Amino acid sequence: MAEPCRSGTTTAPRAGADVARRAAGSAAAGCGLAGAVAVTVAVVAGPGPGLTGYVSEAGIAGSGHAATYRIGILALAAALLLIGAALPPGVWAAAPALLATGAVLSAVSGAVTCSAGCPLPPFERTTTADLVHGGASIAATASVVFAMLTLSVSGPAGPAVRRLAAVTAALALPLCATVGLAMLVVGRGAVVGVLERLVLALLVAWGVATSTALALDRREARSL
């Protein structure tokens, strides 16, 4: 009679942890959607230069939609942290660590605003804030893409999460490389503006889709 008691005692914490992970996945999806909507509203409704400029220009000081932009970025940063919390046990530790790093760097990029036009080298003169903002934004993107690569080969993540990570990373890597090359060769313009938006849209779509997959994943509960 003692053995079933021990089994039940072990099962309850596992079931509770599974529910908490799925709740984190649901919260991550909500934060991702809310953040994407807020940033999109700030970019579309703001006085920026459209597709020839950077998304970050919606958050420059004095912009009427700067607060909306920052709230959106912070919501997206929270989504990254929650995705890390929603990952199942056994996933390579590098994945949640990279997601946490991406979240912190995203928050830094939202808190440190760039100057008008968000200038970046080598074609434009920059301020310290421009470099901090631009560096944090680039590093945050890289962290999320590397987290995808890690998840794509981490068995415990589950087939749906691995597929989403592999497909999105395969699309994002060449786009990121093209953005970097375009910034060095042609600088600010429609090419960089469009490519940047494609990369960001991919990352947000991956975050929402992965969060949803994690929220619906009941493998742990079924195995108990």
- List, for residues 70-117, the tens digit of each pLDDT value: 999 999 999 999 999 999 999 999 999 999 999 999 999 999 988 888
- Read off the pLDDT of residues 15-55 as tens digits, 9 standing for 90 and up: 778 888 999 999 999 999 999 999 999 988 876 667 778 88
| Mean pLDDT of all residues in 150-178 | 95
Q: Choose among 90, 39, 88: nearest CA to 65.
A: 39
At residue 4 the predicted structure's pLDDT band, cuts being 50, 70 and 90, is very low
Distance CA 63, CA 132 (A): 19
- Read off the pLDDT of residues 135-146 as tens digits, 9 standing for 90 and up: 999 999 999 999
Q: So what's the pLDDT on residue 3? A: 46
| Residue ranges in the chain assigned as alpha helix (H) | 2-45, 66-86, 94-111, 128-152, 159-185, 190-216, 219-223
Q: So what's the pLDDT on residue 11? A: 62
| Mean pLDDT of all residues in 171-200 | 90
Is the omega angle on the peptide bond into residue 122 within 30 degrees of 0, that is, cis?
Answer: yes
Q: So what's the pLDDT on residue 219? A: 56
Q: So what's the pLDDT on residue 12? A: 60
Percent of residues, the chain, with pLDDT higher than 70:
89
Residue in this structure with the two tokens 């680039």, named with its chain if needed: 138
State yes or no: pLDDT of 14 exceeds 90.
no
